[in-house]
Structure 1
């Protein structure tokens, strides 16, 4: 039991508390930090949430969007430092 409490205490320092409340079916816009060599930039990815895995620090969402008629899915760890913001566009 003490190990679980220790892990939760350590993880709590890294959890993002300013996330919007979202669920499967919502349309979101996610700003992701992309590093190419020495340059860093923010890339926006918009789509519909098709899956959600709630596991504390390891929580993820799967976002699907259409690009030229082809569905593209991407998994985002929502507490990653590379995720700059998650904006809820449509419920």
Structure 2
């Protein structure tokens, strides 16, 4: 007896499938964010059955990964204590980002800001952007 061969629909490769999903999920309207920028980030907070946007303002001390996995580390001083938070930029909970001030820095990671306080932690403002 002969077997009947059915035509399978042409499947996308794994890499193409991942690229399609990433393309749909990435946010297109983001400004160019750099290390040293002072930013105001809107994050969606869910409380019970209500949702609201909470803003977090601080200095970007590091960026890691690329594409859909882009994360930024933001540091702020709250009541004399340094608070750091990492944000996944293309996450649905990441509502908005506004660049308040841009600074001129020479390093890609500003982890030294963790150790210094007061006037030593000031960054030179960049007026070109």
Q: Where does structure 1 differ by over 3 angstroms across 4 or more consecutive aligned residues?
A: none
2:94 aligns with 83
Q: Secondary structure of the residue that 2:59 maps to in structure 1?
A: strand
CA RMSD of aligned residues (A): 1.0
Structure number with higher relative contact order (C-alpha < 8 Å, ≥ 6 residues apart):
1
Query: How many pairs are equivalent?
Result: 90
**Equivalent position to 1:44, from 30, 55, 63:** 55
- Alignment gaps of 5+ in structure 1: none
Aligned-pair CA distance for 1:54: 2.8
* 1:8-87 pair list within 5 angstroms: 8-87=19-98
- Alignment gaps of 5+ in structure 2: 1-12, 103-129
Q: Which has the larger radius of gyration?
A: 2
Structure number having the greater strand percentage? 1
| CA distances 1:49-69 after superposition (whole Å, capped 9, x unpaired) | 001013311111010000011
Q: What TM-score, normalized by structure 1, do the two folds share? A: 0.93
